[in-house]
Amino acid sequence: MKIQAQHSQDLTLLAQLVQDMPVAMLASVDAQGRLLSQPMTPLEMDALGSLWFFIDLSSDKLSRLEAMNLSFCDTAHATYVSLSGRGEVATDRERIERLWSPLARPWFPDGPGSLNLALLKFTPDTAEYWDAPGSRVRRMLALAASAVIGKPLGLGSHQSLINLTGRPSAASIQESA
């Protein structure tokens, strides 16, 4: 994933956490209220913290852009990131060309000129992350010690980052309606 210089400390931290995670699970709610998820490959995190993905214009995901969640997971380093936000479709051919990868050809056989190829721009409102330091052995020892004393001990950090982009969140928009 290409990462541009971020405009805030929170977004810089977020970029550092997800930069080496090649796949995210994108979840959204369908018209019947069911939560649906699918793996997506992030192409870029722009300077304002939006994440960009290739998407097919015939995808049913396009009807579920209002409230979305991206989940990243790096089990080897015990780092987990959850982003809540919303999506929008972009058909910027210049950006599509710039972000194109031959790895996308199975879904878009005509390359960056594929007629159904567009971009999904995911803009996060909030983020949560869990990050456990050290090796697996250290984490297992911390978990065992935590079980003995009955409370978390040295298991890492958890933080919520709110209003990442300075825009109203989906939740605040729904509350004001």
At 175 the pLDDT is 36
Q: Which tokens sit at 159?
A: 């933080």
Judge whether 48 and 7 are in contact, CB under 8 Å: yes
Q: Mean pLDDT in the chain?
A: 83
Are 116 and 56 within 8 A, CB to CB? yes
The number of folded domains in the chain is 1
Distance of CA 94 to the CA centre of its chain: 23
Beta partners for residue 83, in sequence order: 70, 127
Q: Quote the tokens at residue 145.
A: 């010690």
CATH of the domain at 114: 2.30.110.10
Contact yes or no for 89/62 (Cβ under 8 A): yes
Residue 5 pLDDT > 70, yes or no?
yes
**66-119 confidence digits (pLDDT tens):** 999 999 999 888 889 999 999 999 999 999 999 999 999 999 999 999 999 999
160-163 long-range contacts, CB within 8 A, separation 24+? 160/126, 160/127, 160/128, 161/10, 161/13, 161/14, 161/126, 161/127, 161/128, 161/129, 162/125, 162/126, 163/125, 163/126
94: domain range?
A: 2-176
Q: How many C-beta atoms lie closer than 10 Å to residue 95's C-beta?
A: 16
At 135-168, the pLDDT tens digits run: 454 545 555 555 666 665 555 566 676 767 665 4
Q: Does the pTM exceed 0.75?
A: yes
Query: β-strand 117-131 against 79-90: which pairing, if any?
Result: antiparallel
